[in-house]
Amino acid sequence: MPETPADRAYRGYTTLSAIAIPALVCVLAVLIARAALPALAADSGVSVIGRTWDVGRGQFGLLPALVGTLTTSFFALCIAAPLGLGAAVVAAELAPRPLRAPLAFLLDLLAAIPSVVYGLWALAVVVPLLRTRVMPALADAFPNAALVAGPQYGPSMLAAVLVLAIMILPYISAVAREVLLAVPRTQRDAALALGATRWEMIRDAVLPYARTGLIGGVMLGLGRALGETMAVTMVIGNRHTLPTSLFEPGYTLSSLLANEFGEASAEGHVSALMAAACLLLGVTLLVNGLAQWLVWRTQHGRIGDHRGAD
Amino acid sequence: MRVDLTGAGATFPYPLYARWFNEYAQETNVRVNYQSIGSGGGIRQVLANTVDFGATDVPMSDADLERSRTPIIHVPMVLGAVGITYNLPEITRPLRLSGEVIAAVFLGTITRWNDPRLVALNPDATLPDRELLVVHRADGSGTSYIFSDYLTAVSAAWAAGPGRGREVLFPVGIGGKGNEGVAGQVKQMPGSLGYLEVVYARQNRLPVAHIQNRAGRFVSPMPYEVASAATSVVDAQSSAKDLRISLVNAPGPQSYPIASFTWLLIAPDAIGPRKTAQLVAFVRWALADQNNAASTLGYVALPGSLADIVLDRLEQATTTPPRP
Amino acid sequence: MQGLLWTAAMLAVLPLVAIVTHIVGSGFAALSTSLFFKSPAPAGVSGGGMANGIAGTLLLVAMASVIGLPFGIGAGLFLAERAGTRLARITRFIADVLSGLPSIVLGIVAWELIVRPSGQFSAIAGGVALGALMLPLVARATEEMVRLVPNALRESALALGYSQWRTSLTVVLRTALPGVLTAVLVALARVAGETAPLLFTALGNAYWSLNPTEPIAALPLQIFSYAQSPYDDQRAQAWAGAFLLLVLIAGLSLIARLVVRARQRLLRAGPSRTDAS
């Protein structure tokens, strides 16, 4: 049947809707970059390598927040990646079949819990635990280590790292599990036919095949950690200095935005915060883009191709 | 729900304003919606004329007043005090502090509770040898302004360093969000010390320190001492052009050293005579405070003489004939 | 080695168990009728509730849906129907990247577009931010569900003389509808729990307000502020709010899973079975 005007309208509607998504990202990037432009001026006080964030004096050094974002995410990844990958292997390969779906559901549920609820729990459980037991124990075990030196407040880089690790773990394991499940049967069957044990099959036939995707999954976790706001704000201590110890309070780019955006009135302050947002957006776009690319590549030939049941 | 007046600004007086607006609405059917977004936000919205009135713990600067297209009146509504609260189970009597020592704590030069300077001020207490954990504000606030205003007045090192402002770079300590955040942190951390509006300490049964005032006496932020600070400063500056007066480090033997006005900001020409009249009526009702909301909540009402001065000035400023 | 992997899995699930137990324990205990029907009491006074936050969240999600649903479902249909085209591939990729970005950035965009020019915080700004957040989630969810419908169904409809748009909307989408609806509900639940985009758009409100041009309370905002509060009863309310969110999200996720599995089974059985719905 030839195309009617109604058909054209429908096509227009769906096409427009689809365009809206890349358009949204462009609008995002352009708006924030434009609002951050004044920060590029030499006298704006904004500096990516500046260490001092003193609003009253017009100094906006972004380094502490940037370093905070990068280090908390990195350490969180170090904890979450092995655990997440291990959980994914168990959920995809090792667990008895009836257990697999419930296990996967549990892990997905972890991913769905809102960030503010994680923060609430961390504030009520993790921070006091750190302050009363973990920090003193660590300080006693490593008395001269700079990494565990300093007053034991509770809210600290360490608290942020732990909360982030718990939060990104399910993302890593969900993507890793999908990637593992996408490895074709032929790979597994071939290994088993050659006499491999269960673990040997996983190690030699499945994992190498899925490696790119697994790396992508880990990077997705990194992307989440970099952008995580609420839970981190509640436990990181909100201090604008380059921390030298895990026990010290610190700051991240997203916490900075969460705490100061609402009250910022001076033009210089607002454009400095926009510069921070720009930085955050740039880093997360890069990491997430790369991660998605890696994941797409494993699951299907071309980027953006549909992956799934068929 | 019909709203007659909208306002925004300071978080410090918010509990009191909330109760006042609630009771006022029940008595007069005039509804007021107030957003406690901070003094900075309040000033910004009054300048932009997006609210009927603002509220601030920080007086507007001369530069800001110039920027305004119409005159803005600062109306002191109530007195507040910034207290130093702490969590130290080892001591039973109130902690004594002086301006210099407080500055040293927040500058990071005093790091343990049994520092000689603290012991010197508290000879009867057995201060333990433990870390002194500092809590300050993570967000910009009028409370920080008042506190840093005080430290600037009493400590040369502080004046040269972080200085005075709504957002101050604190060299040490963790930041809590809002007065509640600071109270929450101090309550949960033994060995901690922080500054906040005294109201929040009282409501959470947190102790406040006795601070040495300019006359050398150790004073706690009880209503009488806070009111004394106000009256002695206003007496000393009775010829001041407007009421944007700082009350920190007030003279007088009874004065509490970290007291402050909190102001309503009214721009009569911008909002028109009807709303101005409504606001003036509210201010008169609030300053009379028949239901004692202020003292119940831990604020200090303006002493009668001061309230009269404020109302006089307000009426003078708002009954000038409208511009042609 | 297997033992190591199992340990990893147990360690991974442990925090979940801890969190859920704590939320259910503290949250359930703090539930009360005043939580649902009263707005917050003035500071320090007990007996207040989160009624305005619950209502605010519902309104915000409704406003977000005005943007997120029509465009999201439309985009999902596009992705399913014109799957191999360049635009589809780009959109699919970008949608996944977008849903991984920090949600506070969307709040900043809404602030720049709405709050800054208008000079005030408003529920609309919050709704717009959440709508943008919803868009890629709904699009991908719709695509997955529409994809489940066998091609044979579409072809039969076209062969019978249905026009393209009619086929897509009244045949394909309608068949996929239960799955789409549940996936959409899951996306709504996720959006309902977001806090960061609301911090400086909707801002929060201590009073009851449903005015879109005024700041509005929201459940996650209240949880955020009560969590750090020194008042014990406010902290208890934070747990109750967390419990509500958890029940909403977990419940919908579970239902979504069951519905999807049922639809998959049903739709794989062949076109003749789809009339059963």
Return the H-helix or E-strand segment holding B278.
helix B268-288
To the nearest whole angstrom, how far is the Cα of B78 from the nearest Cα of chain C? 17
Please report, as a single letter, which amino acid is at residue B267.
A
Mean pLDDT for the stretch of residues C253-257: 83
Q: Residues of C84-113 as b/e, b for ≥16 C-beta within 10 angstroms? A: eeebbbbbbbbbbbbbbbbbbbbbbbbbbb
Whether residues B99 and B210 share a domain: the answer is yes
For an interface test with C, the pick among A11, A116, A283, A285 (most C C-beta atoms closer than 10 Å) comes out as A116
Decide: C243 and C23 in contact? Cβ < 8 Å: yes
- Please report the residues numbered 176 through 215 in chain C whose beta carbons come closer than 8 angstroms to any beta carbon of chain A: 189-190, 193-196, 199-200, 203
For chain B, the domain total comes to 2
Asked if residue B269 is part of any domain, the answer here is yes
Q: Write down the pLDDT at residue C270.
A: 54
Token match 């909301």: residue?
Answer: B293
CA A199 to each of CA A81, A202, A241: distance values in angstroms, whole numbers, following the listed order:
19, 5, 47
Report the chain A residue with the minimal C-alpha distance to residue C6. A90
Whether residues B189 and A154 touch (CB distance < 8 A) is answered with yes
- pLDDT recorded at residue A115: 94
What average pLDDT does chain C have?
87
Q: Is residue C235 part of a domain?
A: no
Contacts of A212 (CB under 8 A, 6+ apart): A294, A297, A298
- B275 lies in the same domain as B264: yes
| Token pair of B302 as six digits | 């303006």
pLDDT in tens, chain A (310 residues): 567 888 889 999 999 999 999 999 999 999 999 999 998 887 888 888 888 888 877 889 999 999 999 999 999 999 999 999 988 888 888 778 888 888 888 888 888 899 999 999 999 999 999 988 999 899 888 888 888 888 888 899 999 999 999 999 988 988 888 888 888 888 888 888 888 888 888 888 888 888 888 898 899 999 999 999 999 999 998 888 888 889 999 999 999 999 888 777 777 888 999 999 999 999 999 999 999 888 877 766 555 555 443 3
The tokens describing A244, both together, are 């030298």
Q: Please give the pLDDT value at position A301.
A: 56
Q: Are residues B155 and B124 in the same domain?
A: yes
Q: B223 and B87, same structural domain?
A: yes
Q: How far apart are CA C196 and CA C223, in angstroms?
A: 12
Asked if residue C30 belongs to a domain, the reply is no
ipTM surpasses 0.85: yes
pLDDT at B192 over 80: yes
Residues B211 and B90 in one domain: yes
Residue C250: its pLDDT value, please? 86
The string of pLDDT tens digits covering residues C216-228 is: 999 999 999 889 8
Is the pLDDT at B139 greater than 60? The verdict is yes
Kindly determine whether residue B33 and residue C228, on different chains, have CB atoms separated by under 8 Å: no
- Listed by number, the residues of chain C in 220-239 with a beta carbon closer than 8 Å to a beta carbon of chain A are 220, 223-224, 227-228, 235, 238-239
Question: Which residues of A make CB contacts under 8 Å with B?
Answer: 52-57, 127-128, 131, 151-155, 233, 237-241, 249, 259-260, 262-265
Q: Are residues B71 and B86 in the same domain?
A: no
Percent share of chain C, pLDDT over 90: 38
Task: Pick C101 or A266 by higher pLDDT.
Answer: C101
pLDDT in tens, B213-246: 999 999 999 888 999 999 888 887 776 677 888 8
pLDDT of the residue at A268: 83
Which residue has better confidence, B55 or B200? B55
User: Hunting for tokens 């709303």 — which residue is that?
Assistant: B275
- pLDDT of C171-203, one tens digit each? 888 888 888 888 888 889 889 999 999 998 998
* DSSP element (H, E) containing B300: strand B300-301
How many folded domains does chain C comprise?
A: 1
Is C236 domain-assigned?
no
Q: Return the higher-pLDDT residue of B162 and C265.
A: B162
A263 and B173 within 8 Å at the Cβ level: the answer is no
Q: Which domain holds residue C114?
A: 52-227+241-262
Q: What is the CATH number of the domain that holds C123?
A: 1.10.3720.10
Residue C165 in domain: yes
| CATH no., domain A63-309 | 1.10.3720.10
B176 touching A (Cβ < 8 Å) = yes
pTM, two decimal places: 0.85
Q: If you average pLDDT over residues C45-49, what whole number do you get? A: 77
C24 located within any domain: no
Rounded mean pLDDT, C63-77: 94
Q: Could you tell me the residue range of the domain that residue B51 belongs to?
A: 5-79+240-245+260-318
Tell me if C26 is assigned to some domain.
no
Q: Are residues B30 and B146 in the same domain?
A: no
Residue B255 lies in a domain: no
B56 shares its domain with B91:
no
Q: What is the pLDDT of residue A308?
A: 46
Q: Are residues B64 and B157 in the same domain?
A: no
List the single best residue of C115, C224, C228, C234 to mutate versus B (max B Cβ within 10 A): C228
Lowest pLDDT segment from A77-81, B45-49, B238-242, B284-288: B238-242
In a domain, B250, yes or no: no
The pLDDT value given to residue B210: 95
pLDDT score, position B239: 67
Nearest chain C Cα to A290, which residue?
Answer: C97
C174 found inside a domain: yes
pLDDT of residue C276: 44
- Average pLDDT for chain B: 88
Is the domain of B276 the same as that of B152? no
Q: What is the CATH number of the domain that holds B312?
A: 3.40.190.10
Q: Give CA separation, C196 vs A115, A238, C105, in Å.
A: 9, 16, 9
In a domain, C64, yes or no: yes
Are B56 and B187 in a shared domain? no
* End-to-end CA separation in angstroms for chain C: 48
